[in-house]
Amino acid sequence: MKSIVILASGSGTLAQAIFDAVESRTLNCTVAGLICDRTDAPVILRAQSHQVPVHLHPMLADRGQWNRDLFTLLTSLNADLIVSAGFMRILDSSITSHFPIINSHPSLLPLFPGAHAVRDALESGTSRTGTTIHWVDTGVDTGEIIAQQSLDITEGESEESLHERIKILERSLIVATIGTLLSMKEIGRS
């Protein structure tokens, strides 16, 4: 059976969707581990409640050492796919070129990359936004797009309500995308 590793830094709503899909067998895989860079992140409790091994990997002053340690950890977990689900770190090319890593982002990339995508979409006045699953490279949300799903922005919508609506799309799209990728004979960029 194929396995995945989840990288996360925050509340873990995307990770929870993945844990639930594995548990219900919507996803036919195992979760080899959660790697988290914050010791206080709520995603840790979510992983523990699903008996997913948690590996804490806080940022070091020596970023090169942090990258080497992450590479070693990912290698030891031997997963078929790495899923960034709210991991707020840029990954080094030594990692992105070696492991198949996907990320979920709350906009229709290439529009609105970065940490404030929902706010940026609202401020731009656009009428549509959505979510993107993409391959991770060394840039900020610049990797090749795998899948997207869009929604209309309603008049006067708040950043919080729009983000919650996007999260609903994100959860289903990331699960579907993981399923598609894991069904391939060889996982990798096209």
Does any domain span residue 187? no
Check whether 141 has a pLDDT greater than 60: yes
Residues annotated as catalytic are 105
**Predicted TM-score (pTM) of this structure:** 0.95
- Separate counts of helices (H) and strands (E) for the chain: 6, 7
Check whether 185 has a pLDDT greater than 90: no
- C-alpha 37/C-alpha 57 separation (Å) is 5
The residue among 88 and 6 whose pLDDT is bigger is 6
- C-alpha 9/C-alpha 90 separation (Å) is 12
Does any domain span residue 79? yes
Does any domain span residue 111? no
- C-alpha 145/C-alpha 129 separation (Å) is 15
Q: How far is CA 115 from the centre of its chain?
A: 13
Check whether 97 has a pLDDT greater than 60: yes
Peptide bond into 42 cis (omega under 30): no
Domain that holds residue 173: 3-105+132-149+163-182
User: What CATH code is carried by the domain that includes residue 15?
Assistant: 3.40.50.170
